A and B are shown apart, each in its own frame.
Chain A
Amino acid sequence: MDVAALTLLALALPFVAALLAPVLTRLLGHNAAWVLALFPAAIVLHFTRFWPEVAAGEVVTGGYAWIPSFNVSFSWLIDGLSLTFVLLIAGIGTLIVLYSGGYLKGHPQQGRFFSFILMFMGSMLGLVVSDSFLMLFVFWELTSITSFLLIGFDHSREAARRAALQALVVTGGGGLFLLAALLILWNVSGITQLSLLTAFGPELREGPFYLAALILVLGGAFTKSAQFPFHFWLPNAMEAPTPVSAYLHSATMVKAGVYLLMRLNPVLGGTPEWQILLPLFGGITLIIGAVLACRQTDLKLMLAYTTTASLGMLVMLTGLGFPHAIEAAVLYLVAHSLFKGALFMVVGIIDHETNARDVTQLGGLRTAMPFTFVIALAAALSMGGLPPFFGFLAKEEIYYALSGFDLRSMIFAALAILGNALMFAVAFAVALKPFVGPRIETPQTPHDAPILLWLGPALLSVKGLTAAFLAGLTHELVSTPMASAIAGAPRTVTISIIPDIGLPLALSLATVALGALFYLNLDRLRAFVSSILVDIGWGPDRGFDQFIRGLIRFSVALTRRLQSGRLDVYMTATFVLIAVVLLGVPLSYGELPRAPFFAGDVPLHELAVMAIAVIGLGAVLLAADRLTAIVSLGIQGFAVAVIFLLYGAPDLAFTQFMIETLSVVVLALVMTRLRLSHSDHRPLGQKIPDVTIALACGLGFGLMLLKVTGVPFDATLTEFFNLYSKSIAHGANVVNVIIVDFRGTDTLGEIAVVMVTGLAILSLVRLRAGSLRRIADNDPDVEERA
């Protein structure tokens, strides 16, 4: 198989695995993880083949035409940026699948969980390799949907359902921003592929739609990557099982927004707007995330808020535009994926073994879980940015980028130091506090975890160490190609584990000192932040609830106004609209038909038929009761059918006869069933408007018919059908041939409608009036009272 086919297969593999997961889990139990982990491992293996080309600075594109007429393709773009993401997603994905095998061992729905997480993996892979806009959008929304399924996995708990819905609303809504942004980019440039967009960068940046496109892109990226003020959904998403938190909400999905910004940096970046908005929101998110993290006592929530902070850091670095800032973002992104994934899994192990995850109720676990302790410490050292871990390289590079002496550098350097110091404190609060100090009794006696649980975090921690020691190789394969792809120009990353003596190292030391201070005073810091938050008393999380409730209230009020539920109101509205259209359009355009031309010699039988129609109508108006009126309406209908017959439309006449007969029968039956009063009791005040509307409609239809018949008849279709009905369709009756052959697909649709209507009426007839219950209308006010 060629590379393109293999790549397509690799992108499809997670979905195949998702399909197999439930069956495998039924057969093998939690050990299915070993088999399922082979799928992402195979993907890693496949994509490493692109390493030589990508390291040489090449961009590999490929794909298949999807809808060629709309210039839509299923195509991928593999450069340093997407390759690094692919390897992170599939690599960490392999470990997460194994970890889930241990974490959810014996869970009745473990198969479903595997299925969801593999589907997510497939969506995320598709997202980062997408070259075509449509594919990018589809996979973007797929990650939101699969994330919804995973957050709401424990769907019997209300908190999980709310968090899932919130994440879906925020990230899915952000997807719509992305869609609008892509439409603008496509409209301005005429290009539907990311790989070709860079060439249009200067034109876009100077064009009038730049700001609109930028804001929409930021709307998509900020919601997905939980930037202020959309940061609230991410901590709530911690309702998901820990493997999900480790994978989606730290290592992969939340980085999709950062990915988008990095991908579009050569196209939209470098402008003053870009360099103001990104660092501003990123910086705010960094500080808010780090401060809120200190306030938490739940291990998972502490990590969740630091993830928000880290994402803020990445957005900030992507937007700064300083030399080395892109390189720093690359290093930090990779380092963060490794240490945060590992730390989440460690927290999962603690939770799994002790059944507790509140930092104030854990202590002295080092003797019971020495191995887990080592892993946790390794990850925390990387997160704290201490040598010899990869996090150290990232932090040094950040301070290289920020160590200028202008005001802007100093402000962001101060933000970075504060944020990093707070995260340092949290890292050790998570990885050190539960293990040291006096032993605190936990609901469950802890042991070191089984292999499925520790393998993932251990490998990630080791990776954080080796990546730093083999910095040269890491830079050659990952950092340099990725930074070049983001910058849109060749960059080289050179930083190594041996620090240079200089300002960056001094800033690093300051960070560690400040972080240690925060760590020692964490309890006081927590109380302080809590008291401030209580004083503020409002956050975006509550704002989200208020927004949703307001939306529901508004829609309930609107629905009440528009949908009265009374048939006569609907009928009046419909007919008034018809009358307005039929009369208003010709009047406003001055297109009234000319007075019809009456032939003098109308045969007597035609006059007689018309007279019957008029008599029928008169009888309807004068009828004493409803039944007589219905039958009289039939008289008029029969007369019309006779007119059809006289003018050479036997099929139509035939049908009209049958329809008239049946409508009279059915109407009479409905009448008896509804037990309506025999005569019409409408008051005069209602009769007059009703009569007016009826007359207006009648007049409108009359005018329209006159107008239509006044236009010269185009006989093209008639000739076509007359000519070909016999020769192509073997039928002499043109009407029937049209119905069953020329336009057979229409008829198929119509009879399906007849069938469905029949079913609907049947169920309506079977409803007994007494059994009608009020249908839930989601009115929040009613729900509260209930």
Chain B
Amino acid sequence: MRSVIFRAVAPFLTSLMVVFSIFVLLRGHNEPGGGFIGGLIAVSALAIYGIACGVETVRHAIYFHPMAIAGTGLLASTVAGLISIAARVPFMTGLWIYPSVFGLEIPLSTVMLFDCGVYLVVVGAISSIALSLEERGGE
């Protein structure tokens, strides 16, 4: 699988897919998509990168350990649920704010933070499995 063309294209393909995965994640609340699907797309992107350019390159590129990413995601989702307790509403109640950035109203919510957490858990956990399998499989 280490053809020159594949290796040359892979970084661009991967970047594109990661950007797309974030797009899918963010639009998920109103259009098909969401944290789970987005996460899976991002993992596929990393898997392609890994097959083309080797596991070390991927590990270097994502900088953090995949399990640390997954852990952050789980923490983010839990915190998103706990914020509602500070507002004296039941656990996991969605809270929304609408800050205005450069005159554009952006809806932000604990639900979005939760979905980002799902995204990170999926990316971290599954890429961790895929990367470690690729690593050992090549020996």
Contact = CB atoms under 8 A, between A and B. Distances in A.
B74 A755 contact: yes
A744 B81 contact: yes
A513 interface: no
Contacts of B70: 754-755, 758
Interface in A364-391: none
A655 B134 CA distance: 23
Most-contacted residue by chain A among B33, B91, B125, B128 (CB, 10 A): B125
A154 interface: no
Q: Is the interface of B mostly helix, strand, loop or mixed?
A: helix
B133 A669 contact: yes
Interface string A745-786: 101100110110111011001100000000000000000000
Could you tell me the dominant secondary structure of chain A's interface residues? helix
Interface in A662-688: 662, 665-666, 669-670, 672-673
22 contacts: A654-B32, A655-B37, A655-B40, A662-B126, A665-B47, A665-B130, A666-B129, A730-B109, A733-B32, A735-B32, A741-B111, A745-B81, A745-B91, A748-B77, A748-B114, A755-B121, A758-B129, A759-B67, A759-B125, A765-B132, A765-B136, A766-B132
B31 interface: yes
Given A735-B32, A758-B70, A762-B128, 6 more contacts: A731-B111, A737-B29, A739-B35, A758-B124, A762-B129, A766-B132
Q: Which 4 pairs across A and B sit closest by C-beta, in order of nearness? A: A758-B125, A658-B40, A669-B133, A650-B32
Given A669-B130, A748-B92, A765-B133, A654 B121 contact: no
Contact of B117 (A736, A737, A751): A751
Interface string A184-198: 000000000000000
Given A666-B133, A752-B74, A758-B67, A655 B36 contact: yes
Interface of B: 28-37, 40-41, 43-44, 47, 51, 66-67, 70-71, 73-74, 77-78, 81, 91-92, 94, 96, 107, 109, 111, 114-115, 117-118, 121-122, 124-126, 128-130, 132-134, 136-137
Given A729-B111, A751-B118, A758-B124, A745 B92 contact: yes
A530 interface: no
Contact of A765 (B44, B124, B126, B129): B129
Nearest to B129: A761
A640 to B, nearest CB: 16
Given A651-B34, A740-B115, A731 B29 contact: yes
A751 B75 CA distance: 11
Nearest to A752: B74
B125 A651 contact: no
Nearest to B71: A755
A741 B94 contact: yes
A662 B136 contact: no
Given A655-B36, A736-B34, A748 B44 contact: no
A661 B44 CA distance: 8
Contacts of A751: 73-74, 77, 117-118, 121-122
B136 A673 contact: yes
A729 B28 CA distance: 13
A614 interface: no
B114 A744 contact: yes
Contacts of A736: 28-29, 33-34, 115
A496 to B, nearest CB: 65
B79 to A, nearest CB: 11
A739 B34 contact: yes
A730 B29 contact: yes
B90 to A, nearest CB: 10
Contact of A732 (B30, B51, B73): B30
